[in-house]
Every structure is written in structure tokens, then in C-alpha cells.
Amino acid sequence: MKSELKRNYSENPTEFVLIGFRTSPEVQIVLFLMFLIIYLITVLGNISMLIVIKIDSRLHTPMYFFLQNLSCLDICYSTVIAPKTLATFLSKEKKIFYNGCAMQFFFFALFLGTEGFLLAVIAYDCFSAICSPFLYAMHMSQQACAHLVAGSYICGCINSMIQTGFTFSLCFCGEKRLDHFFCDVLALLKISCVVNEMVLFILSAFIIITTTTVILVSYGCILSTVLKIPSTKGKSKTFSTCSSLITVVSLLYGTVFFMYAQPGAISSPEKSKIIAVVYMLIIPMLNPLIYSLRNREVKNALKKTLLRKIPSH
């Protein structure tokens, strides 16, 4: 018994089995089609945003520079998970190698964490544009914007390295069945020899609290400034600009907080899978729709782009 326990602690599995959704083969096909359609809409929608912002000179501003990076991140972190998930729906052996699992985990944490920091940067950009318009050009110079984006990636990378290093330094006691459809930290912690959620909880809570503080303070100052605008049209235009970003922030932070930043999140794998679908595929799919439907400048740019492609007779 003692030697078996020692062996279990010293040997990690070379591969994991992704249990995924416990459904019949017929339902698996339906899920495959749903995931595929959502993923394609996500990729096409965000690529469209990138193209529209690129070709319309009126959108060559700091805010849309940040939105371009946000679209890139949405494509990246969806692509880290979706193709492998689609393959497992059609495969009888739903396996992923240990190193492949670690890579998937690292890049997913990198892109999702970076998006959280970038949303805080976007909130600061809105704050500077509305509350300090005369200093905006200095605060949001091309160099400053590049530094803010680079800083978001650096913070996301540090977060990812810490989470990946902590999670994959654990021993998994020979267990190799992950009750999830990708290598999620909660599923990995569940099969580890010593389950300790506190590191995950503290790190997630720290990131969410710091970025949320920046976002709330920024939008609080924006709201205070907007309410002082005498013109109803001016208020409407400002709220229109910020409302889409507030919606995106609320969707992402709400699901991520519910998923990772509460003790006991590890205990409900089925709930985790549903929430993961929301922030992994649904939110990246909705983001370009939110920008285009709730932002007058993007709607005008889309119309202009479409009119260019329609031949005149």
C-alpha cells in the first residue's frame, strides 16, 4: 500500500481523457454542429471587426486600436479550445497528451487573462477621453497605447505562467479522467492528489479585484462627468460610446468571477462546463455584435465597407 501510494505521487499520467458532456452519440453530433457554428461566427465576426477598423481611417483612434487587440484575443482564446473540443465530439478516444494539456492551459490562461487587463485599459481610455479631453492626446499617444497593450500581455503572461506552473507541479495520483471538455484548472485540481483551491482563488480574486477597481473608478468618473453635460444629445453620444464596453466587461467578468473567484467552484463540474461555454465561445461571438449594434461609428463604417463591395450599375 505504501509503495503504491509512493508510485502514484511520483508518476503523472502521460495523457488525459476528456469526459466532456455526458450525452448520447446523437446529442454529441448536435453539440458538434452548435459549437462549430458558434466558433465560425466568432472567427468571422472578429475578423470583420479587424478589417473594418483597418480600412476605415475614421476608426484609427486609440479606442479602436484597443478593440482590434480585443478581437484578436477573442479569436485566439476561442481557437485554443474550440478545434480540440470539436475533434473530441467526433472521436471515440477523447484523449489529450499531458504536454498538449499544459500548452492548452497556458495559452488559454494567457489570452483570457490578457483580455481582462485589456478591458481595464479600455476603461482608462474612455476615462481619459471623457474626463480629461484636453490631455487625451498626451495620455493616449501612439507610444502610450502600445505600452498599455504590451503591459496587458505581460501581465497576462505572468498570470498564465504562475497558474500553469502551480497546476502542473501537482501530482495527479495516476488519475487521468478530466470531467470537462478541455484542460480547465478546476477539472485538473479535482484529480490532483492534494486539492488546494486557495492559490487559484487568491490569484483570480487579485486579478479581478485590481482590474475591476480600475474599471469601476473609470466608469464612475465617466458617469459623473456625463451627468454634468447640459446637452441631451451629448449625453446620449457619450453613453452610446461607453455602453457597449460596459456590456462586454459585465459579461466577461460576471462569468469568470462566478467560475473561478469563489470558493467551492470546483465542486460542480456540470455547472463549470456550461459557464465555460459562455465565456469561451458565446462572449467572443457576441463581442463584435455588441460593438457593431451599439456603436454608431462602427455601424457607419460597416455600411461604408459594404457599399464599397456592392458594384454600382
pLDDT digits (tens, 9 = 90+) for 139-153: 889 999 999 999 999
pLDDT (average), residues 284-305: 70
| Contacts with 57 (C-beta within 8 Å, 6 or more apart), sequence order | none
Percentage of the chain lying above the pLDDT 70 cut: 76
pLDDT (average), residues 16-30: 85
Q: How confident is the model at residue 15 (pLDDT cuts 50, 70, 90)?
A: confident
What pLDDT, on the 0 to 100 scale, is given for residue 1? 42
Cell 470583420 belongs to 48
- What does the alpha-carbon distance between residue 64 and residue 88 come to, in Å, rounded to a whole number? 36
What pLDDT, on the 0 to 100 scale, is given for residue 188? 84
Q: For residue 95, which amino acid is it?
A: K
pLDDT (average), residues 230-241: 63
Evaluate if residue 72 carries a pLDDT over 90: yes
What pLDDT, on the 0 to 100 scale, is given for residue 3? 46
CA angle 111, 179, 174 (to 5 degrees): 100
Which of 78-87, 192-201, 238-247 shows the highest mean pLDDT?
A: 78-87
What pLDDT, on the 0 to 100 scale, is given for residue 76? 93
Cell 506552473 belongs to 165
pTM of the model: 0.83
Evaluate if residue 52 carries a pLDDT over 70: yes
CA angle 195, 197, 203 (to 5 degrees): 145
φ, ψ at 262 (rounded to 5°) = -135, 135
Cell of 292: 457593431
Between 158 and 170, the higher pLDDT residue: 158
Q: What is the mean pLDDT of the chain?
A: 79
Helix, strand, coil % in the chain, rounded to nearest 5: 80, 5, 20
- What does the alpha-carbon distance between residue 149 and residue 122 come to, in Å, rounded to a whole number? 10
Evaluate if residue 310 carries a pLDDT over 70: no
Q: How confident is the model at residue 8 (pLDDT cuts 50, 70, 90)?
A: very low
What residues pair up with 15 in beta bridges, in sequence order?
A: 97
The least confident of 10-19, 21-30, 182-191 is: 10-19
Cell of 284: 467572443
Cβ(301)–Cβ(307) below 8 Å: no
Q: How many CB atoms lie within 10 A of CB 248?
A: 22
- What does the alpha-carbon distance between residue 275 and residue 264 come to, in Å, rounded to a whole number? 15
Between 230 and 252, the higher pLDDT residue: 252
- What does the alpha-carbon distance between residue 291 and residue 288 come to, in Å, rounded to a whole number? 5
Evaluate if residue 238 carries a pLDDT over 90: no
Closest C-alpha to 76, from 131, 118, 34: 118
pLDDT (average), residues 75-93: 88
Evaluate if residue 298 carries a pLDDT over 70: no
CA angle 218, 47, 113 (to 5 degrees): 45
Q: How many CB atoms lie within 10 A of CB 17?
A: 16
Between 192 and 105, the higher pLDDT residue: 105
